[in-house]
């Protein structure tokens, strides 16, 4: 266990950035999101939740897949470059780290997504324990410990010091690279901090949310329930929930032309949109109720059915905070709990 004074964090960031790319929470225009570090960045480690998670670092909102260029009547294909530079994502929370594990099971399963795999290979995560979880948090429901993030390096901000503990080989390598700025530390303050965080967690309103009846075996029961017909109606199909979610992995692939070149790229998409997976014959889910149902069935039924019971929700609470119609996964679970899935 090591520690570093808060006043020395700028030196830590600069030391990391000398050899690797560094991404961390940066405040700009009144909002905090993960961005590349530079000396002028307004680093914000105090905000509990960034607007979007750091999933961008591993699954970018848009990325080039390949280019096709016509030269002398021949077509030349140039694949997009895979990530080769090592980088550090500093300041992720335990829920967002779990979100990366959810993405791993999608993009690292056969056939492996080479773009994602390259980023995971070169990325090191320094995760910060939550100091004061908020009312919209419910990570404990999904087995996540807000006080003990499972990452390459776990960090705790306590008083005027940041405590640092390597948990993996990547974490050990990063620790060795910045060891000149770290000092040995007693673990007692961290244990006290964990107890304090756990006490806060137990008092949060959604921490006792029951997932009883939601699992990979509940397909027919939940899919056919009439509860969806009433529940979806306030949905605006804006897609906000999917874009702030740390586990949503839907994307579209598009082409655009520039002279004699064609560029193919992929970008985030949303299952809440009417043109999502649109094909020549139309859309398989042609009503907003069906699209609404798809999102939550995937989180709570389809994904656990194919991933050893793991849910595709991490309880970060972003959808609770951002949905303009107050529709979110908590409301869905409670609606079925209150009505038993039947009318």
Q: Looking at the structure, tell me whether residues 332 and 246 fall in a common domain.
A: yes
Using the 3D structure, point to which of 174, 203, 232 is the last residue of a domain: 203
Of the three residues 203, 228, 248, the one that is the final residue of a domain is 203
Q: Strands 21-28 and 87-92, how do they pair?
A: parallel
Residues 142 and 264 occupy one common structural domain: no
CA distances from 273 to 93, 222, 237, 244 (A): 29, 22, 6, 15
Is residue 184 located within the same domain as residue 151?
yes
Q: Is residue 210 part of a domain?
A: no
* Predicted pLDDT at 75: 86
Pairing of strands 31-36, 21-28: antiparallel
Residue 155 pairs with which residues in a beta bridge?
128, 164
The residues that bridge with 161 in the sheet, in sequence order, are 5, 158
Give residue-wise pLDDT tens across range 100-119: 999 999 999 999 999 999 99
pLDDT per position as a tens digit, 10-69: 999 999 999 999 999 999 999 999 999 999 999 999 999 999 999 999 999 999 999 999
Domain end, chosen from 154, 171, 203, is at 203
Residue 208 counted as domain residue: no
Residues 114 and 259 in one domain: no
Decide if 209 is inside a domain: no
Report how far residue 232's alpha carbon sits from residue 197's, in angstroms, rounded to the nearest whole number.
35
The per-residue pLDDT for range 300-339, each reduced to its tens digit, is: 999 999 999 999 999 999 999 999 999 999 999 999 987 6
Model's pTM, two decimal places? 0.92
CA distance 265 to 255: 6
What phi, psi does 9 have (nearest 5°)? -65, -35
pLDDT tens per residue across span 244-299: 999 999 999 999 888 788 999 999 998 888 777 766 665 677 789 999 999 999 99
Q: Are 257 and 322 in the same domain?
A: yes
Residue 271 lies in a domain: yes
What spatial distance separates the first Cα and last Cα of the chain, rounded to whole Å? 55
Judge if 187 and 236 occupy the same domain.
no
For residue 166, pLDDT beyond 90: yes
Please give the residue range of the domain that contains residue 79: 2-203
162 lies in the same domain as 249 = no
Instruction: State the pLDDT at residue 116.
Output: 97
As given in the structure block, the two tokens for residue 59 are 């699954």
Are residues 269 and 120 both part of a single domain? no
For residues 166 and 57, state if they share a domain: yes
Asked if residue 138 has pLDDT above 60, the reply is: yes
Distance CA 77, CA 8 (A): 47
Please tell me whether residues 330 and 236 are part of one structural domain: yes
Q: How far apart are CA 162 and CA 165, in angstroms?
A: 10
| Least confident range of 3-7, 72-76, 142-146, 176-180 | 72-76
The verdict on residue 120 lying in a domain is yes
Tokens of 174: 């990063």
Say if 20 falls within a structural domain. yes
Concatenated DSSP letters for 270-314? Answer: -TTSTTTT-BTTB-S--SHHHHHHHHHHIIIIIHHHHTTT--S--
Q: Which residue has the tokens 């929370």?
A: 93
In the prediction, which pLDDT does 340 show?
55
Does residue 244 share a domain with residue 175? no
Strand stretches in 54-172, DSSP E: 62-71, 74-79, 87-92, 123-128, 153-158, 161-166
- Mean pLDDT value across the chain: 93
The answer to whether residues 139 and 238 belong to one domain is no
Alpha-carbon separation of residue 343 from 2, 34, 213, 337 (angstroms) = 56, 44, 16, 12
Q: Give every CB contact of residue 112 below 8 A, 6+ residues apart in sequence.
A: none
In angstroms, how far is CA 239 from the centroid of its own chain? 16
- b/e code 97-118 from CB counts within 10 Å (16+ = b): bbbbebbeebbeeeeebebbbe
Say if residues 123 and 54 touch (Cβ distance below 8 Å). no
Per-residue pLDDT band for 74 (boundaries 50, 70, 90) equals: confident
Q: Classify residue 161: in a domain, yes or no.
A: yes
Does a structural domain hold residue 167? yes
Task: Report the number of distinct structural domains present in the chain.
Answer: 2
């Amino acid at each position: 266990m090591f520690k570093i004074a808060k006043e020395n964090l700028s030196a830590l960031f600069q030391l990391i950035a000398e050899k690797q790319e560094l991404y961390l929470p940066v405040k700009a225009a009144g909002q905090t999101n993960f961005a590349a570090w530079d000396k002028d960045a307004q680093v914000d480690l105090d905000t509990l939740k960034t607007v979007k998670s750091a999933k961008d670092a591993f699954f970018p909102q848009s990325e080039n897949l390949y280019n096709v260029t016509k030269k002398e009547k021949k077509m030349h294909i140039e694949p997009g470059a895979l990530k080769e530079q090592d980088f550090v994502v500093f300041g992720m929370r335990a829920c967002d780290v779990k979100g990366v594990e959810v993405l791993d099971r999608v993009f690292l399963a056969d056939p492996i997504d080479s773009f994602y795999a390259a980023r995971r290979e070169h990325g090191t995560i320094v995760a910060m324990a939550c100091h004061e979880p908020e009312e919209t948090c419910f990570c404990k429901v999904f087995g996540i410990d807000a006080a003990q993030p499972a990452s390459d390096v776990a960090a705790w901000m306590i008083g005027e010091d940041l405590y640092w503990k390597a948990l993996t080989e990547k974490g050990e390598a990063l620790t060795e690279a910045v060891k000149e700025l770290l000092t040995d530390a007693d673990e007692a303050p961290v244990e006290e901090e964990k107890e304090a965080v756990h006490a806060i967690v137990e008092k949060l309103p959604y921490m006792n949310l029951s997932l009883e009846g939601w699992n990979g075996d509940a397909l027919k029961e939940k899919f056919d329930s009439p509860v969806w017909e009433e529940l979806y109606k306030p949905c605006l199909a804006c897609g906000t929930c999917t874009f702030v979610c740390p586990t949503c992995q839907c994307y579209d692939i598009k082409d655009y032309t520039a002279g004699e070149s064609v560029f193919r790229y992929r970008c985030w998409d949303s299952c809440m949109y009417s043109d999502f997976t649109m094909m020549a014959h139309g859309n398989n889910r042609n009503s907003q109720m069906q699209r609404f149902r798809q999102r939550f069935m995937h989180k709570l039924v389809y994904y656990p059915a194919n991933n050893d019971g793991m849910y595709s929700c991490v309880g970060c609470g972003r959808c609770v905070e951002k949905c303009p119609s107050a529709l979110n996964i908590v409301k869905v679970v409670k609606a079925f709990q209150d009505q038993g899935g039947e009318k």
